[in-house]
Chain A
Amino acid sequence: MKNIDSTSHLSGKSIFIDDMPEIQGTLFASVVTSPIAHGKLLSIDFSEVESLPGILRTFTYRDIPGENQIGGIVPDEPLFAEKELHFVGQPIALIVGKSDFICQQAKQLVTFDMEILHPVTTATEAFERNQFISPPRTFKMGDPENAWKECAYVFEGTAESGGQEHLYLETQGAYTIPMEKGKLKIYASTQGPTAIQKQTARVLGIPMNQIEVDVNRIGGGFGGKEDQATPWAVMVALATHHLNKPVKMILSRHDDMYMTGKRHPYTTYFKIGLSKENKILAYEANYLQNAGAAADLSPAITERTLFHCTNSYFIPNVKATVHSCKTNLPPNTAFRGFGAPQGMFAIECAIHLSSKELNIPVEEIQKINLLKEGDEFPYGQKVQNGMLDNSWLLADKQWNIAKLQEDIRQYNAQHSLKKKGFSIFPVTFGVSFTNTVMNHARALVHIYQDGSVGISTGAVEMGQSVNTKMLQVAAGFFSIDMHKINIESTNTTRVANTSPSAASSTADLNGKAVQMACNALLHRLKKVAAKLVSGNEEALEITNEEVFFNKKPTGITWKELVKTAFLQRVSLSENSHYATPEIHFDKTIEKGHPFAYHVFGLALTTALTDCMRGTYEIEDVKIVHDFGKSMNQEIDLGQVEGALMQGIGWMTMEEIAYDKNGVLLSNALSTYKVPDLYSAPKSVEIIPLENESDNLAILKSKAVGEPPFNYGIGAYFAIQQAIKAYNSDYSMAFNAPMTPEKVLMGLYEQT
């Protein structure tokens, strides 16, 4: 089944925030931000702005009736800067006027009096200065302190991975409409409607029930609109609150890139110990996470790094510590993978370093250390229905790994200026919000008296086709035509207290809630039908919109049954609540069972490097992926392909650059390059692992948003191998992204 929005997307009729018909009298806004990364704001002069025709008003922290605070986890992020400036692009004020154009012009007329302080832009400098977002956290298993003695080989190294701009095609934006009695309605492009509702209430000093947040769909999120869609919505809400006028603000691409945080850059110091037989006995990692100037979601992201510090490998002795370092950059935030890719990259670097030093093929280390059934993760959970050995076996059976490698060796022997490299990359990704309390969702299902169905959940549609999946769940459960069902917008008055659409869990949590609601309604309808056929409820079934009794058609249609139920005053609405069972985690000992299940898989990547120019192509990615039992293969394949490409982008061309003063240099699409058509691997083959074992996923169809992002990491190592094939002196520094610059410098590096 196709994404239910396909036709409207293709005909340009899908409505995003900026496409909504504007209410007469709508005002526009622009954000005045800090031009410096660190300093004191002594004074600010709006006099030129206020004299500009068309400008109505400016707002600063002084205009906030409630609390000047939007920090979700840690209260360390003011909506508007007061006396201190912490990053370039930090909001200071909002200008409201009659057109977007005039507001953009006005912004440039604001002048500041500032005292500039030293900006810290790297995690290492922040670490040295003891600047942290939150206290460090450590996961420990076995006896890492003493295990080193047992190791035949011990290697130490550093792994650097860079940031990543989300580059959702639709930029951040919100549109607020004043309702009667001071209430507000906010349309926002957000993955977290409740976050906006909550923070708006906090800033305006009014209860949450005065604020309605509505999300129809968003034009891509990838984590960038989980927490960071909030400030813009709160700002326009503040303006509407004061002016009693509709206010709309859509960030320009440039502003969006300047003002919002990105994937966290990490510097990881690692140490790995192996036995003579290449068994990994011990692993130690110290992650310095560049969190930016405020906590945002960083504490949760640090946690997921630790949960994935050993990726797909069993290591009996582990000590992993993460330091969330406070710097003068925009607060870095959620991005597909949420800290896990950084952890997985580091352990893989440690394995590649070992392979290089021991002069043995990488897979000789990888293969014998893969997690097996019942193996314990450093956080206490054990592998259940593990699929890593199966992935490897299936990949080998399908593609003959040894032959792939031999072909590459031959190619390299025959070509002097072109070299290929190959990598195998296993993935084990835990599914659930690691913060256990967030793993719940609700659904509100109405059957209308004409038999049509409306469904509201907390899930936000952002291209991942969650609405399609919700519709499939309900249509399957009721056994009615898809066209009878409408998936409503995500709205805080219909479904309250939602967790954001994140952590790959949206379809699972909301789908289960839909299932429960449908189940309750079906039960009620069957009761009505039982009376109609004077029979037993258990012998009733609804199939293709018809009631069957003892497997025989009764002639009673869905429509008739619904109408009868309505006339009998039976409730045709149901609101249900689902909370993931089994999961728990104790932060005081850093042990528990935080994940509903794991997703497993393996990627084989071949890269082709032009050794004259230092350019490269990803020729081929072959993936074995654990979909569980996919409820929609077309959509799930699209998720894997899209995630893979984003992962490859992170590892190859996507390079975030700030200058030493904390000014973003990669501030436009001309300077920050995301993959285009030609950057896509020439061939992508994805084969599903047969895995119908019971799991907590919706209809056993496992989460597919984030896990496949990590396959892209394979590209880094494949390119490294290609460089190595050309230049035996290549030192193999681990420093992602692998830009053409690093490739060329590596190709001609000399010892």
Chain B
Amino acid sequence: MEQYVTKMFNFTGVMIQFILNNQLVETNLPGGSILLDFIRGDQHLKGTKIGCREGDCGACTVLSGSLSANDHVHYKTITSCLTPIINVHGKHIVTVEGIGIDAVLNQVQKSMLEHNATQCGFCTPGFVMAFSGYALNKETSITGIRESISGNICRCTGYKSIEKAAVDIFEQLKHSPKGRSLDWLIKQHFVPKYFLQIPVQLKKIVTLSPIKAGVFVGGGTDLYVQKAEELQGMEAIPVNQMKGLTDVFQNGTKLTIGAGLTASDMLNNELMMSALPRLKEFFQMVSSQVIRNMGTLGGNLVNASPIGDLSVLFLALNADITLLNPDNESSRKLPLKEFFKDYKKIALQKDELIQSLAFETGKTMAVNFEKVSKRTYLDIASVNCAISIQLKGDEIKEIHLAAGGVAPIPKYLKNTCEFLTDKKLNAENLRKAHCVMKEEIAPISDIRGSAEYKRLLLRQLFYAHFIRLFPNRVKSSELLNV
């Protein structure tokens, strides 16, 4: 999920610096170089494993700590295989070699040992880092600790022993004082002592002024799956350096969010959560936590995947996007539904990148997101579908529907929406709307399912919105003729 623009910029270079475990490292590698290769190749730290190089297995998971305003270091997990090294400038990167306590196991490792959560051992460091990332966060729910390893694949254990370790770690952390201080984590042997020195050390690292010529990159989560080899020797410009790309602001009834925000950033943003209270539930089906920590909104949109989860959600929110030309700082606005032109073709000029996205929050719209894939989590949809709807009495006052996997682009279901507007919300009209919908989609058979299946699935997800949102108005028995 990121942006790919080949425009050159005139910046001046500084060496990339970051703290790797307890040491400051610096490199003059091109910014597009891959963090995983730097860790294993240049630094000879072999605990971080290469499993798939596309963010789908979690064997290369490391922690990335960023200094926040109050001198607190906020840690999140990232997959080092998809991370351009420029993205970790000024960060604290922790690998499995840097999380143990003075040559003994930390509490996470001890719990995994106790519950036999390692067999062949290859995926194990990834799980250790994911759990350690959980420990370093404020999150305290049992679903949260499960989510922390949602991006980690183990082929040996069948996960039951790992789950037991998770429960054990959760139980230990449950008793932490509110806020779970670093001191407490050190005392409880979750992290080593040197973590205390990190904020001071990070402050010493000079911010990279927006500098070199190169490729725009967000989280790298799609770009490095598609073009890793090409990008390795190139300079990269992190999009979150660009103006307005990480801002979130409410202007009247419009909420504007920067395109450089990651999915996790959105979940951590109060304005966003109050606009979309069920966002967490929706995003659980979007990739894994570690990828959500990296992948950006703009990346998901410019990727133009016909099944892009965020594209479909924001189409159904009838969002607008703002495109920025950083060269002359000019920008233009257009509805998201006009952005997707054809298969992987978007209305983005060569010099432009997406700056932000805005949607209406003033109306009391009911929103739902549905997705079905071969594997429920960490998978690409066979079909996804989103809705925002507002009723007036029995009637549909306003409705926006979008679906993925049923057309060459993330599809705004214009005709269906038009048909339903001002109609009574009842099963008969929904069935009729489905007949309209059938005519405006054109799914194809591929690895994610046959065309026939996708047609049936979209019908089901379309109906599912109404059963979920209006259980008292629409009965499933009236919709499904079985």
Contact = CB atoms under 8 A, between A and B. Distances in A.
B77 interface: no
Contact of B118 (A10, A19, A653): A10
A10 B105 contact: yes
Given A104-B229, A679-B376, A464 B163 contact: no
Given A219-B122, A744-B457, A670 B56 contact: yes
Contacts of A417: 467, 476
Given A10-B109, A677-B149, A678-B150, A642 B158 contact: yes
Given A6-B118, A666-B447, A642 B156 contact: yes
Contact of A170 (B122, B154, B229): B122
A655 B379 CA distance: 14
Interface string B355-398: 00000000000000010111111111010000000000000000
A741 B122 contact: no
B225 interface: yes
B447 A671 contact: yes
A445 B59 CA distance: 36
A702 B125 CA distance: 31
Interface centre among B57, B155, B480 (most CB of A within 10 A): B155
Interface stretch (A58-66, A126-134, A607-615): A607-615
Interface residues of B, number: 78
A99 to B, nearest CB: 9
Given A19-B46, A463-B119, A670 B113 contact: no
Interface centre among B54, B105, B460, B477 (most CB of A within 10 A): B460
A167 B149 CA distance: 18
Dominant secondary structure at the B interface = loop
Contact of A14 (B121, B453, B460): B121
B25 interface: no
B170 to A, nearest CB: 14
Contacts of B124: 9-10, 12
Contact of A612 (B155, B447, B476): B476
Nearest to B125: A12
Interface string A453-467: 000000000111100
A19 B382 CA distance: 38
A669 B153 CA distance: 10
Contact of B372 (A464, A615, A653): A615
A472 to B, nearest CB: 15
B49 interface: yes
A162 to B, nearest CB: 13
Interface string B152-180: 11111111111100000000000000000
B128 interface: yes
A169 to B, nearest CB: 4
Interface residues on A, range: 35 or more
Nearest to B126: A169
Interface centre among A105, A169, A170, A727 (most CB of B within 10 A): A169
Nearest to B284: A678
Contacts of B155: 166-169, 220, 222, 642, 646, 674
Interface string A397-420: 000000000000000000011000
A677 B162 contact: yes
B95 interface: yes
B449 interface: yes
Contact of A673 (B51, B100, B119, B375): B375
A3 B118 contact: yes
B476 A169 contact: no
Interface stretch (A193-201, A497-505, A633-641): A633-641
A585 interface: no
A628 B83 CA distance: 49
Given A671-B447, A677-B152, A745 B376 contact: no
A252 B158 contact: no
Interface string A702-742: 00000000000000000000000011000000000001110
B153 A680 contact: no
A619 interface: no
Contacts of B120: 9, 168-170, 217-220, 462-463
A335 to B, nearest CB: 12
Given A217-B121, A218-B120, A169 B113 contact: no
B47 interface: yes
Nearest to A15: B46
Contacts of B373: 673, 740
B374 A11 contact: no
A727 B481 CA distance: 11
A170 B46 CA distance: 13
B54 A669 contact: yes
Given A671-B447, A741-B450, A252 B53 contact: yes
Contacts of A464: 119
A638 B49 CA distance: 23
Interface in A513-550: none
B282 to A, nearest CB: 15
Interface string A7-24: 111111111101101000
A9 B118 contact: yes
A462 B382 CA distance: 35
Contact of A655 (B156, B374, B450): B374
B476 A416 contact: yes
B96 interface: yes
Nearest to B380: A670
A12 B161 contact: no
A670 B45 CA distance: 27
Interface string A592-631: 0000000000000000000011110000000000000000
Interface centre among A3, A8, A416, A642 (most CB of B within 10 A): A642
A635 B158 contact: no
Contacts of B380: 670
B142 interface: no
B401 interface: no
Nearest to A635: B116
A725 to B, nearest CB: 12
A573 B69 CA distance: 65
Nearest to A13: B47
B467 A612 contact: yes
Contacts of A14: 121
B18 to A, nearest CB: 19
A3 B117 CA distance: 10
Contacts of A748: 456, 480, 482
A615 B382 CA distance: 12
Interface string A146-171: 00000000000000000000111111
A101 B378 contact: no
Interface centre among B120, B155, B163, B477 (most CB of A within 10 A): B120
Contacts of B452: 745
Given A170-B120, A219-B121, A677 B372 contact: no
A10 B128 CA distance: 7
B461 interface: yes
Contact of B229 (A105, A169, A675): A105
Nearest to B233: A101
B232 interface: yes
A726 B477 CA distance: 12
Contact of A680 (B105, B118, B159): B159
A645 interface: yes
B48 interface: yes
Contacts of A19: 46
Interface of B: 44-54, 56-57, 59, 95-97, 100, 105, 109, 112-113, 116, 118-125, 128, 146, 149-150, 152-163, 225, 229, 232, 370, 372-380, 382, 446-447, 449-450, 452-453, 456-457, 460-461, 463-464, 467, 476-477, 480, 482
Given A5-B121, A10-B113, 13 more contacts: A7-B105, A12-B95, A16-B122, A170-B51, A219-B122, A252-B53, A642-B157, A669-B54, A670-B54, A673-B375, A677-B149, A677-B150, A680-B159
Which 4 residue pairs are nearest across A and B when measured between Cβ atoms? A12-B47, A463-B120, A645-B158, A9-B121
9 contacts: A10-B112, A18-B46, A169-B57, A219-B49, A252-B53, A642-B119, A642-B156, A740-B373, A741-B382
